Amino acid sequence: MAKNQNINALILNSDFYAVFAKKITNEIGKKIYVASFDGTSLLKMSSGNIIHIKQPFEEMRKVSAETLLKKINQEKYQKKRYLNYELIDKDYRNEVKEKETF
């Protein structure tokens, strides 16, 4: 990260990258919020506040497979699906359930 950039948040696609990014931001002494889309147990081992969106992977796999089979068989399928996700802070104090489209 360049020294004169005004970055205040990083949004990453995995907990692995989020933990690494938080470690680097702590080392350089910048207050940068870090968020990830994953929700693995890796976050329990990290230091520093990381917000993550825990996705329902099992349900996503099931819906994807069902949709793919219907599409292959030229059957009607639902184009939008709403699946629950959880918005969780690093120390799991503020769990919030929301709905989002898949």
Query: pLDDT for 41-85, tens place per residue?
Result: 776 666 667 888 888 889 999 999 999 999 999 999 999 888 888
Question: For residue 52, which of 23, 8, 15 has the smallest C-alpha distance?
Answer: 15
Domain boundaries, the chain: 9-56+83-101
Cα end-to-end span (Å), the chain: 32
Write down the residue that tokens 């219907």 correspond to. 70
**Model-wide pTM > 0.75:** no
- C-beta of residue 70 within 8 angstroms of C-beta of residue 46: no
Measured CA to CA in angstroms, residue 66 lies from 56, 61, 93, 96 at distances of 16, 9, 35, 28
